[in-house]
Amino acid sequence: MMELRIGVIGTGGIGRDHIRRLTDVITGAKVTAVTDINKEIADKAAKQYHALSFPTGEDLIESPEVDAVLIASWDPTHAGYVLSCIQAGKYVLCEKPLATTARDCLKIMDAEMSYGKRLVQVGFMRRYDKDYRAMKEVIQSGRIGEPLLVHACHRNRTHITSHSNDMTVTNSGIHEIDILRWLLEEEYASAQVLTGKQNKNAAEGLQDPQILLLKTKNGVQIGIEVNMTSGYGYDIQCEIVGETGTVRLPDPSALLIRSEGKHTHQIFTEWSQRFVDAYDNELQQWVNDVKKATLSGPSAWDGYAACITADALIRSRNSGTSVPVTLQRRPEFYD
């Protein structure tokens, strides 16, 4: 296969950015088809990138002009499109989350296992960030001893008007759930959400910030601040405390400026600025893998493990108590 022909579902913020990336940055792929429930923006993207514009996601998935599919539509639409891709026997990179409930993730795993081969990858792109990768190497080297505690922080400057309490977990916190599970290489045992004084700049009724508490099966205690209304910028922090040392995610490199009696450096304001290299690496690796017919990125099992944890966190916020995270037995298919 010379160039992998990709169809993109959802031509909003990240969909358009991925189309640009696949066209200008990634080698070995081209975007041949797009679709969006907003026909106007789909047609605009199709015109700009010389792609076909399809009336529905299902039409795009079935098209002979499409070898593989990238899903970048709203979270609740993911599961249905992933199932259609499996039915059509096409590789699919689904933006996170894989689904909004663990039940839908199970349906996806069942369909993929019945198909008999991995077709699904989830867009947990932080696993492709060089600094998180370096943190993992430090943990695995034993230099900080066994991990004991994690302090993490996911601050968005502001939130979209449709943001809900659950989305703080399923849309934003889900990145932390996945990356910490990947860094520590263990599953979670329990989950709890704490809420407190509300930021008056958040939408009415939005519990913001929320503190997500997770405990792994080996007892590592994790505290994650998910803040949708930091007001100052997009700020991702992560520190792992081990028995003999700590390792911390660095801030992105930025010029230090001394001027007008101040010493400053810039902080990003939007998520789209923070992990650019990780998105590039993720998509290049996915294209290479699909061409070799062997996926190596985050699987439907990883999507399921994240969703079941998110479900537990939401139950905890509703009940006010810590709740167990109970995963099904991991099928050998996902080893």
Strand blocks (E) in 58-112: 68-71, 91-95
Alpha carbons 81 and 94: distance in angstroms, whole number? 9
Partner whose footprint covers residue 10, from ligand NAD, ligand ISE, none (CB < 5 to 8 Å by kind) = ligand NAD
| Three-state DSSP class for residue 222 | strand
Q: Does 235 bind ligand NAD (CB under 6 A)?
A: no
| Beta-strand relationship, 210-216 and 188-195 | antiparallel
| Beta-strand relationship, 210-216 and 221-227 | antiparallel
Residues 70/16, Cβ–Cβ less than 8 Å: no
Q: Which residues contact 143 (CB under 8 A, 6 or more apart)?
A: 244, 245, 247
Task: Please choose, out of 19-27, 37-45, 207-215, 257-265, the segment that lies near ligand NAD by the rule CB under 6 A.
Answer: 37-45
Alpha carbons 85 and 112: distance in angstroms, whole number? 10
Number of residue whose CB is nearest ligand ISE: 172
Q: Does 10 bind ligand NAD (CB under 6 A)?
A: yes
Binding residue (CB under 6 A) for ligand NAD from 59, 62, 75, 187: 75
Q: Does 171 bind ligand NAD (CB under 6 A)?
A: yes
Binding residue (CB under 6 A) for ligand NAD from 19, 82, 85, 95: 95
Q: Does 38 bind ligand NAD (CB under 6 A)?
A: yes
Q: Does 74 bind ligand NAD (CB under 6 A)?
A: yes
Binding track over 157-196 against ligand ISE, x by CB under 6 A: --------------xx--x---------------------
Alpha carbons 146 and 28: distance in angstroms, whole number? 41
Amino acid present at 4 = L
> At what angle are helices 13-24 and 39-49 packed, to 10 degrees?
10
Q: Does 156 bind ligand ISE (CB under 6 A)?
A: yes
Binding residue (CB under 6 A) for ligand NAD from 8, 72, 93, 212: 72
Residues at the interface with ligand ISE (CB under 6 A): 156, 171-172, 175, 271
The footprint of ligand NAD (CB under 6 A) covers: 9-15, 35-38, 41, 57, 72-75, 77, 95-96, 123, 125, 171, 271
